[in-house]
A and B are shown apart, each in its own frame.
Chain A
Amino acid sequence: MITTLFYILSAITLATAFLTILSKNPIHSAIYLVLCFFSIAGHYLMFNAQFLAIVHIIVYSGAIMILMLFTIMLMNLNKEDEKNKSVLSRIAAVVSFCLVALVLLATFIKAEPQMSRYYASGEDYQSIKVLGQVLLNDYMVPFEFASVLLLVSMIGAVLLSKKEYING
Chain B
Amino acid sequence: MENILQQIGIENYIYLSALLFCVGIFGVLYRRNAIVMFMSIEIMLNAVNLLLVAFSTYHQDAEGQVFVFFSMAVAAAEVAVGLAILVAIYRNLNNIDIDNLKKLKG
- Name A's B-contacting residues (CB within 8 A): 2-3, 6, 10, 13-14, 17-18, 20-21, 26, 29-30, 33, 36-37, 40, 43-44, 46-49, 51-52, 55-56, 59-60, 63-64, 67-68, 71-72, 74-75, 77, 82-85, 89-90, 92-94, 96-97, 100-101, 104-105, 108-109, 112, 115, 118, 120-121, 123, 125-126, 130-131, 134-135, 138-139, 142, 146, 149-150, 152-154, 156-158, 160-161, 163
CB pair B60 A125 closer than 8 Å: yes
Q: Tell me, in angstroms, the Cα distance from A96 to B106 when the chains sit together.
A: 26
Query: What residue of chain B has the Cβ atom nearest to residue A92's Cβ?
Result: B29
Our pick among A60, A93, A105 for the contact of B15 (Cβ within 8 Å) is A105
How many B residues touch the partner, as a band?
35 or more
SS of A interface (majority): helix
Beyond A17-B23, A49-B53, A146-B74, 16 extra complex contacts between A and B, CB < 8 Å: A20-B27, A20-B40, A36-B46, A43-B53, A47-B54, A55-B72, A60-B72, A71-B87, A82-B97, A131-B65, A138-B66, A146-B70, A153-B77, A154-B80, A161-B84, A163-B91
Q: Contact partner of B81 among A51, A71, A126, A160, CB < 8 A?
A: A160
B60-74: contact bitstring with A at CB < 8 Å (1 yes, 0 no)? 111101101110111
Minimum-distance CB pairs A-B, first 9: A153-B77, A93-B29, A97-B26, A160-B84, A21-B27, A157-B84, A104-B18, A101-B22, A93-B30
Complex CA gap A33/B74 in Å reads 19
Q: Which residue on B lies nearest to A145, using beta carbons?
A: B70
Chain B positions within 8 Å of A, measured between CB atoms, are 1, 3-12, 14-16, 18-27, 29-33, 35-36, 38-40, 42-43, 46, 49-50, 53-54, 56-58, 60-63, 65-66, 68-70, 72-81, 83-88, 90-91, 96-97, 99
| Complex CA distance for A13 and B10, rounded to whole angstroms | 17
Given contacts A21-B27, A48-B1, contact A14 B83 (CB under 8 A): no
Q: Which residues of A contact B84 (CB under 8 A)?
A: 156-158, 160-161
Question: B68: nearest residue on chain A (CB-CB)?
Answer: A52
Q: Are A126 and B23 in contact (CB under 8 A)?
A: no
